[in-house]
Structure 1
Amino acid sequence: MYHIGELARASGLSRDTLRFYEREGLLCPEGRSEGGYRLYGEGAFQRLRFIKQARALGLSLEEIKAVLEAMQGGRPPCADVRRVLGQKVALLDERIAELSALRNALAERLEWAEAHPDPACDGKDHCVYLDPTPA
């Protein structure tokens, strides 16, 4: 059995993060020591690795909790995970398209600004580089 500090060091997470995960229902100590300290077993390391990997792939704590609950209920979570992964890919595709459009607009603006290094600008309340570019 491991105290929270030992688990924190071994997992690379802070004690506060472990306590937060406990409050959120993602991690549960197996018991308490005579002094009232949280005690964790080997399963806590595996669970934290799972949580860290899921977080690295962009899953929210709510999504991770749902997967963990499915596993605890004896139900393989693969269909749920596949659905969430599909949603994440779709959201990333949308975000990439938005960022690509923004990059193109910025590049166009920069090109115009570099072609006009000394614009007639009074400097009051606007900048010609941010005004709509002339056609």
Structure 2
Amino acid sequence: MRVSELAKKANVTSETVRHYTREGLIVAKRDPNNGYQLYDGVALQRIQFIQQARTLGFSLKQIDDIFQHADSGDSPCPMVRELLLQKVPETKAKIAELQAHLNTMEAALAVWDQMPNGTPDGHSICCLIEDWNHEEDGTTTTDTQEP
């Protein structure tokens, strides 16, 4: 398969195929007649694996490590389990951080609903942000003013 054929079968862009090739995640052979990169079924299988692993939050570097284990005949499954065990609490922390951020945004909107719009006057950019009291939403952000 050429790049475009592989991309179509894997439901990715041609640039994604090229990127994975540059990263060494998939391998192409060169057609001696025209120099085109040619891919086999293994490349398709690997791209499908990459897409599934990315959905689970694995980085390309981690996926490369998984491929290296598999290519050397070792089972990468224990490493995959360990990586995912580490990712779960990290993801929970990110969700909590995003939830706190969302709460802050919603609190700001509630406060701003009671405030009039202002016009920049050379001393103010947007009164909604500048006059908003961060403590009204219960968060502990610090209010710093730069000179």
TM-score category of the 2 structures, normalised to the smaller one: 0.7 to 0.9
Which residue of structure 2 aligns with residue 127 of structure 1?
127
Report the secondary structure of 2:38's partner residue: strand
Q: Report deviation, 1:15.
A: 2.2
- In 2, the alpha carbon distance for the partners of 1:38 and 1:113 equals 57
Matched, 1:3 2:10: no
Note closer, same or farther for the CA distance 1:75–1:128 as it changes in structure 2 (3 Å cut): same
Which residue of structure 1 aligns with residue 98 of structure 2?
99
List alignment gaps of at least 5 residues for structure 2. 137-147
Which residue of structure 2 aligns with residue 44 of structure 1?
43
Q: CA RMSD in A?
A: 2.4
Report the secondary structure of 1:59's partner residue: coil
Q: Report deviation, 1:117.
A: 4.3
Which residue of structure 2 aligns with residue 82 of structure 1?
81
| Percent sequence identity over aligned pairs | 34
List alignment gaps of at least 5 residues for structure 1. none
Which residue of structure 2 aligns with residue 32 of structure 1?
30
CA contact (8 A) 1:112 1:133 kept: no
- In 2, the alpha carbon distance for the partners of 1:9 and 1:134 equals 52
Q: Report deviation, 1:65.
A: 0.5
Amino acid at match of 2:97: E
CA contact (8 A) 1:54 1:64 kept: yes
Q: Deviations over 1:36-80 (max 9, x none)?
A: 212222111111110111112221111111111110011111111
Note closer, same or farther for the CA distance 1:108–1:45 as it changes in structure 2 (3 Å cut): same
Q: Deviations over 1:81-121 (max 9, x none)?
A: 1122122222211111111112222333333333x3459x7
TM-score by length of 2: 0.75
Q: Report deviation, 1:12.
A: 1.7
Amino acid at match of 2:53: A
TM-score by length of 1: 0.81
Identify which of structures 1 and 2 has the higher relative contact order when contacts are C-alpha pairs closer than 8 Å and 6+ apart: 1
Decide which moves more: 56-65 or 100-109: 100-109
- In 1, the alpha carbon distance for the partners of 2:88 and 2:25 equals 24
Which residue of structure 2 aligns with residue 72 of structure 1?
71
Aligned length: 131
- In 2, the alpha carbon distance for the partners of 1:122 and 1:37 equals 60
